[in-house]
Amino acid sequence: MGLEEKLPNGILLASLEGVVNWARKNSMWPATFGLACCAIEMMTSGGSRYDLARFGMERFSATPRQADLMIVAGRVTQKMAPVLRQIYDQMAEPRWVLAMGVCASSGGMFNNYAVVQGVDHIVPVDMYLPGCPPRPEMLLDAILKLHAKVQDEPINARRAQLREESGAKTEMIPSSVKYAKK
């Protein structure tokens, strides 16, 4: 007699990690950080034509404490870098970052002293979305790829990665100290 015959109908077996990752994947709430023309395309993806609601993401958070996905859309200036880091630090773990557009990914055509040459100098980026500006379809594709990444991620991977990066220190460096002008 196999396992299927022993279990009553309506019982579902799953690993805890699989259930937790499924819940994380299907309940991402983005914190928008729209700085330039990419923000318009990001707002369009929340409309009825592209419908982010089908992924459980219809609620764009106005506060970082209720968000777990930061979508950085557009160029980040040196003056906005500490603000971006502060918002990222206020987000609860686990958190993910999507760099939307070539300006957020690498500074784009703005190769000067005022624009940060890639948001990955400020916060760790999980997904890069190229384009100038990227279309809403491209944003939806990047979100689906991020969902696949979250689904396959071990539960404690983020905590172990943070400990490894900080050298097992529990002390946090304030963003104002980390990005002070030299």
Residues at the annotated binding site for [4Fe-4S] cluster? 37-38, 103, 132
Number of Cβ within a 10 Å radius of residue 118: 18
Question: Starting from the edge strand earliest in sequence, which strands make up the sheet with 30-34, in order?
Answer: 30-34, 69-73, 96-100, 127-129
Backbone angles phi, psi at 61, to 5 degrees: -80, 135
Tell me the one-letter amino acid at 50: Y
Residues in the annotated binding site: 37-38, 103, 132
Tokens of 153: 């991620």
* Contact criterion met (CB below 8 Å) for 34 and 61: no
Structure tokens at 54: 């089908």
Residue 93 tokens, joined: 């773990």
